[in-house]
A and B are shown apart, each in its own frame.
Chain A
Amino acid sequence: MIPANFNYHKATSLKEAIALAGELGEEAKYMSGGHSLLPMMKLRFATPEHIIDISKIEGLSYIKEEGEFLKIGALTTQTEIEHSPLLKEHYPIFGDAVWLTADPSVRNCGTIGGNIAHGDAANDQPALMLAVRATIIAEGPDGTKTIPIDEFFHGFYMTALEPGDILTEIQIPKAKKNSGGAYYKMERKVGDYATAGVAVHVELDDDGVCQEIGIGLTNVSAVPMRLERGEEVLRGKKITDELIAEVGQIASEDCEPESDLRGSEAYKRSIVNTITKRMLNKALERARQ
């Protein structure tokens, strides 16, 4: 399969990329790793007139703690995330997710920025970003934008990014004492999109009371979804098995899955319940270590 014709432009700086996007208009699409966009182009689901290749822009691939934040450059590949000693040690939720994302060769190309900017609720990073309450940094014709993750996902493949905007960095509050996260997705076969997935991040105080909680769901709604009602149940409380069971039930009620090749709606609601409980337990275990 060969994509429809398009014009290719290579940008070597953010400035150049944004200027090109301004010149070329709305028919231009940015491409970083290309492992979501190019398959769609080959299937002719997407037929952009112009591709602006941003993968060669220098300085957008890094993982570092700075001030109050963990900062990840948008062009950091999934493989780099998988092997980062910092993330392995202090942010194991990333390893959980990346391990289950596509396969090693795809992860060599796919970038974290692309996984989020694509705006696909089937991707793994959006739920994770919701759980850890990320902030998205973007550069565009209007300068730098700082977008809280709860304002980022607007719809099916729709995000807060406006024409010309490039997602440049993800910021996440630095790992605190007594905090932990976990992610799991059910997949039909290795490398598939999630049948359903759940990301959990929890912060406890010294007495084990839940100070902050984030729960994000993968591929059970058109838009990446935060389980708000479940978070409210847990916030400010000592998390017990009964509360975990209640939140699992809420997850199965509040998610909005559709029956498809990956499973029926009822099946998906059932596994969301189970995965939510398991990930709450796993995140708590990590927070208590």
Chain B
Amino acid sequence: MAKHTVTMTINGESVTAEVDSRLLLVHFIRENLDMTGTHIGCDTSSCGACTILIDGKSVKSCTYLAVRADGANITTIEGIAADGTNHPLQQAFHDQHGLHCGFCTPGMIMRAIDLLETNPNPTEEEIRWGISGNLCRCTGYNNIVKSVQQAAKEMAKEKEATV
């Protein structure tokens, strides 16, 4: 089985590697690149713990071949804010107690980034549907919804300030 050379941009840096056809993108990110912020939960595209952004869209990286990501622009949880600073969603999850054990949090935040990009001012119902592919077994979701609401407000303010 032939190896394939792939080149992709991950968190702004170009990465070139030889990969097997069957290597899953989440394994490539975690094991080849040692970026373990992206988690593996169910491994069946149900739980969303492995959510990353491919060309700005949330994708479950357990259900994506690394070889298919050739040429893609990928963002993982490690790439959403500079070291020592928090993305508005990270800050909001902290402020609103949007996590207990934290296992779902990276995927939840990556999904919420896509959600707020598509719909910057979502209703509570739209947030709940928007994160319906991301499971959390601790919080009961209420504080996650509050976190996304806080981040939506913060991000709208930031946007206004840059215009």
Q: Spell out A's residues near B (CB within 8 Å).
A: 1-8, 10, 34-35, 38-39, 42, 51, 53, 55, 79, 83, 99, 102-106, 108-109, 190-191
Contact = CB atoms under 8 A, between A and B. Distances in A.
B57 A108 contact: yes
Interface in B51-65: 51, 57-60, 63-65
A3 B22 contact: yes
Contacts of B45: 35, 39, 102, 106
Given A38-B63, A39-B44, A108 B22 contact: no
Interface of B is mostly: mixed
Nearest to B23: A2
B39 interface: no
A51 B66 CA distance: 13
Given A105-B59, A105-B60, A106-B60, A5 B44 contact: no
Given A53-B68, A109-B59, A191-B46, 20 more contacts: A1-B43, A2-B24, A4-B22, A5-B1, A5-B22, A35-B45, A35-B63, A42-B44, A55-B68, A102-B45, A102-B133, A103-B133, A104-B114, A104-B133, A105-B114, A105-B134, A108-B57, A108-B58, A109-B63, A190-B133
- List 4 tightest A-B contacts by C-beta distance, closest first: A103-B133, A8-B21, A190-B132, A108-B57
A188 B130 CA distance: 18
A104 B115 contact: yes
B114 A8 contact: no
A39 B115 CA distance: 24
B4 to A, nearest CB: 6
B161 interface: no
A5 B20 CA distance: 9
B52 to A, nearest CB: 9
Nearest to A49: B1
A104 B43 CA distance: 17
Contact of B21 (A5, A34, A105, A190): A5
Contacts of B4: 8
